[in-house]
Copies of this chain bind each other. A is one copy, B any other.
């Protein structure tokens, strides 16, 4: 390639590899959109870039593609009116397979160098991507910037770091010398070549298209696979911008831009299925529903399938120092992006007889009321609430709130409609908080969106057992617990280790259970039904490439 992207980013790569080993705080991509980080004009330029895309043909040339209307509509109340170049699944796989031969031969340094350059350019495009994420997912602007931009880039970089680490440990060439007693040793030259699995597919989700899409995209690309990105029909734009940038870098580096392809499609058609089961597709990364994830695990048998599906995240309330602070932290987790996060809590277990607090005993009702009051306080100012809640991404989530109300459970906090100060048609709702009995079948499923339950249990031991069994059976990405008792904490940790779920203890400050930080927090464990992989670890990258050796006598 004309520019050695690998050397350009070598230091960044080494730093990322180190960070993933120490797991200490680190990020090269500033999470604050401040002009001090991104320059005085970046914010406005990003906004303008987004506005320029609206109502037009998305600027990307793909040989053999026709155009399709994207049909995306902002949860803040307007249509994007963007058309995208489209290839059929068959044509896309054929183009990807054609690009594979040259990409395979480029080798690990080129794969990683190109990946790192793409990430740097994505970082520069963070404002454009922020608007695209906001107006497809419904995230508030600041969250769309952070989660859709730098935090997503962190997760992509993390995947590249793991990929490099695993590939770099394979020596390219060695001399093997086996002693033969008094005779001359046998001497062989051995060469080890890292080869990709083939064509990889990334199936994007509607709520975090970049954050959930980048790990698979970069893990596959950095290990020499070509990648087809199939966005969710309601959230094409953030991944279209991503693919546009990837293709620019590939072209500049002298590779076929078709190494990364976008395959947009209309809702309800069979594009995902056709791509995922294509014999030449060898890797599938998926984030989405349990039903679709399980379908892939069952049917995409020719591929390595990495899925993040639904789960039921739980909270165990045993005892607290400061009930209000705990309730505020929980309320924030329920409110942020209207709970449309795979990590948001849903079932909050509280013993029927109440809990200990530093201020004395608190009854079940007092605990439930504290959470409801914190929700109320957090959404009292409509303008601030609108930013925090964001828009409801899909009609299905809106309908789910009504379905939950129909369960007939007592409403601890009602779901209210909120008006956005800037966007008239925005679809915004505060969280619905219901009171439930342990064992009610409705709480054993995921209620994706702003629906949560305060659940009466017999005791903390009962709560722990319920949390463990629910994670085993229904899956869970997060478990949160509040306890001031070291023995209870130990029992909760043991249950978490048994059920394979990440645990956050006693969060009362500025860290929330639904947040996970790249390089430090594993997102998902792969050890319960919520996900079959973790972001990011060796297992996530090591099977995306294989090693072919050649040996001969010297």
Contacts and interface: CB of A to CB of B under 8 A. Distances in A.
A493 B24 CA distance: 42
A35 interface: no
Contact of A176 (B175, B520, B551): B520
A15 interface: no
A195 B527 contact: yes
Contacts of A547: 522, 525, 534, 537
A549 interface: yes
A273 interface: no
Interface string A163-190: 0001001010011111110000010101
Given A104-B497, A546-B525, A171 B506 contact: no
Interface in A503-538: 503-511, 517, 520-522, 525-527, 534, 537-538
A553 B326 CA distance: 13
Interface in A18-72: 21-25
A195 B551 contact: no
Nearest to A492: B550
A301 interface: yes
A497 B195 contact: yes
A298 interface: yes
The interface centre, meaning the residue of A497, A508, A542 with most chain B CB atoms within 10 A of its CB, is A497
Contacts of A503: 548-551
Interface in A451-497: 493, 496-497
B169 A24 contact: no
B542 A505 contact: no
B525 A176 contact: no
Contacts of A550: 493, 496, 502-505
A345 interface: no
Contact of A526 (B21, B534, B546): B546
Contact of A178 (B25, B191, B507, B526): B25
Contacts of A507: 552-553
Given A527-B197, A539-B542, A521 B551 contact: yes
A177 B525 contact: no
A195 B500 contact: yes
A548 B546 CA distance: 27
A175 B456 CA distance: 35
Given A525-B546, A525-B547, A552 B174 contact: no
Nearest to A509: B553
Interface of A: 21-25, 104, 166, 169, 171, 174-180, 186, 188, 190-193, 195, 197, 297-298, 301, 493, 496-498, 500-511, 517, 520-522, 525-527, 534, 537-539, 542-543, 546-553
A338 to B, nearest CB: 25
Nearest to A508: B553
Contacts of A23: 171, 174, 176, 190, 192
B21 A497 contact: no
A553 B506 contact: yes
B510 A186 contact: yes
Given A24-B176, A511-B553, 15 more contacts: A21-B171, A23-B171, A23-B176, A186-B511, A193-B493, A195-B527, A502-B548, A521-B549, A522-B549, A526-B543, A526-B546, A527-B546, A537-B542, A539-B542, A542-B542
A197 B493 CA distance: 17
Contacts of A511: 186, 188, 551, 553
A213 to B, nearest CB: 22
A545 to B, nearest CB: 9
Given A522-B547, A538-B538, A543-B539, A552 B506 contact: yes
Nearest to A174: B23
A550 B197 CA distance: 34
Given A166-B538, A177-B25, A526-B543, A509 B186 contact: yes
Given A195-B497, A511-B188, A527-B195, A551 B174 contact: no
Nearest 4 A/B pairs, CB to CB: A539-B542, A505-B552, A527-B546, A539-B543
